[in-house]
Structure 1
């Protein structure tokens, strides 16, 4: 089985490049080889390699910048996935696309299911939803995996930012009225490898159904709770000297940003767990494992 992996140097892509190795030949492509903004080149890459599976963690992820770069966000997050779907359909490949909790408006009081109505409140969420819809309209074999609050031990993310700020400042102010599930990039990658293996077996016996699934850690917290847990684990590990003494909870209004964020980013993972026989770990247990690997 040949797997074409985009964004192989990103947080999720880097983990995927390793977790996919046991299930097939992984062809990694980065932005210079397969720029999602260059749709013609994107088609050419797929025609060149003719993979059995296309996995696309690459995306336009600058949530605030997307408010003023709408055309670029939609090109990469909406048009490119549509092109991937068209090419996947031509060669009979399975397409795995990642999406986001930001397709919802966050007004629901309980975790969102895959059947809940979407209503993104920012351009980034709108562009990712348009990507989902583009894939579905092409009707190739696909898996769309919505995740949330992604972090890793490498790259730029909330975990790395808090580690830096906690080492520099005695006091931090972190938003406490947005709730979601911090999700380790490796968990996303390992879960993807499991479900791709199962999906390909299902396709062999004509028992595969394309679908949208929610893939996050279990449990939930606020950004403030996430930050507090990071600092607590650092202190337990004793690896890093921290100046931080206090993390103050603040409302979203106390940290205004160009793009509106949903207050409730919780996603129900029941459908994925039942379909693929998985139990997704709690966000804090996964965080602890990730932080064990930090220098």
Structure 2
């Protein structure tokens, strides 16, 4: 997929050095204007308007969020500012400018008890502060700007930044046995794949103009499903082909790995709406995982 056309205005992307923001810069082309702390900080609302005025974007992608799931349990105010209040201000600025906002959300808006992949109209039922603040953020941005697209994604990883895949590969080098939760199900999503989907949505909007039926919530995750244990084994197997140590990976139950925040047991997302409306389907997760680990194992990445 090519980057965005170069003959239009700037696109503001929040998220600083985050995984998705980094992928957007790499794949979106020179029109991407990345902002992050301290110049752009949801804890300092005045910085949002200042960045907006300086860049004068034609579209905004909000990839910034409080994603520390367990830490959110002890800092409700901080998570709320990052996941609800800041995005609401950003959406209001977009509404005033009459431009679209693509806001990234999460599978953790669900409790994981459905027993089947979630569709966009399923009731939200988060199990912790992180999920609750993300639900509140979804509602806030949709109410503030009629040209808002919310993309719920899941289990995001990349060759850069802090994520589960990199953690497992590093842990596998140091430990002969890894114990990984094997009873939580979801869809791993490569940050590059999500960035490409966002670029494709922006291209559609620019080529044909905004359509009111674009607004709303969409699910955007890697195709297929696995568990955290399955994802760990798959990542380590690819790394082993590059000469890394292959440890024993033992599947454990969620109850054996207690955390401050309760995770959804089955947060698979049905991504059919994204394909129906925009013709976008993210690649199979194993294919993208292989590409990502191959990139991570490249000499320049080590």
TM-score range, shorter chain: over 0.9
- Report the Cα distance in structure 2 between the residues aligned to 1:207 and 1:63, rounded to whole angstroms: 33
Q: Which moved more, 1:193-202 or 1:166-175?
A: 193-202
1:39-58 per-residue CA deviation (whole Å, 9 max, x = no partner) reads 12212221232211011101
> Which one of the candidate residues 252, 259, 262 is aligned to 1:260?
262
Give TM-score, length-normalised by structure 2: 0.92
Count of residue correspondences: 289
The answer to whether the 8 A contact 1:35-1:41 is kept is: yes
Q: Structure 1: which 4+ aligned runs deviate by more than 4 Å?
A: none
The answer to whether the 8 A contact 1:20-1:193 is kept is: yes
- Report the Cα distance in structure 2 between the residues aligned to 1:161 and 1:209, rounded to whole angstroms: 36
Q: How does 1:205-224 map to 2 (within 5 A)?
A: 206=211, 209-224=214-229
1:44-94 per-residue CA deviation (whole Å, 9 max, x = no partner) reads 221232211011101111100000000000001000110011100001111
Task: Give the deviation of 1:207 after TM superposition.
Answer: 5.4
Which stretches in structure 1 are left out of the alignment for 5+ residues?
none
Root-mean-square deviation (Å): 1.4
Q: How does 1:184-203 map to 2 (within 5 A)?
A: 184-203=190-209
1:174-218 per-residue CA deviation (whole Å, 9 max, x = no partner) reads 0011000111110011111001111233435x5553111111001
- Report the Cα distance in structure 2 between the residues aligned to 1:133 and 1:220, rounded to whole angstroms: 27
Q: Which residue of 2 aligns with 1:138?
A: 144
Q: Secondary structure at the match of 2:69?
A: coil
Task: Give the deviation of 1:36 after TM superposition.
Answer: 1.4
Task: Give the deviation of 1:279 after TM superposition.
Answer: 3.0
Q: Which residue of 2 aligns with 1:91?
A: 97
Task: Give the deviation of 1:255 after TM superposition.
Answer: 0.3
The answer to whether the 8 A contact 1:150-1:185 is kept is: yes
Give TM-score, length-normalised by structure 1: 0.94
Q: Secondary structure at the match of 2:102?
A: strand
- Report the Cα distance in structure 2 between the residues aligned to 1:133 and 1:43, rounded to whole angstroms: 21
Task: Give the deviation of 1:276 after TM superposition.
Answer: 1.3
Q: How does 1:49-198 map to 2 (within 5 A)?
A: 49-198=55-204
1:114-152 per-residue CA deviation (whole Å, 9 max, x = no partner) reads 010001001000011111010112133111100000111
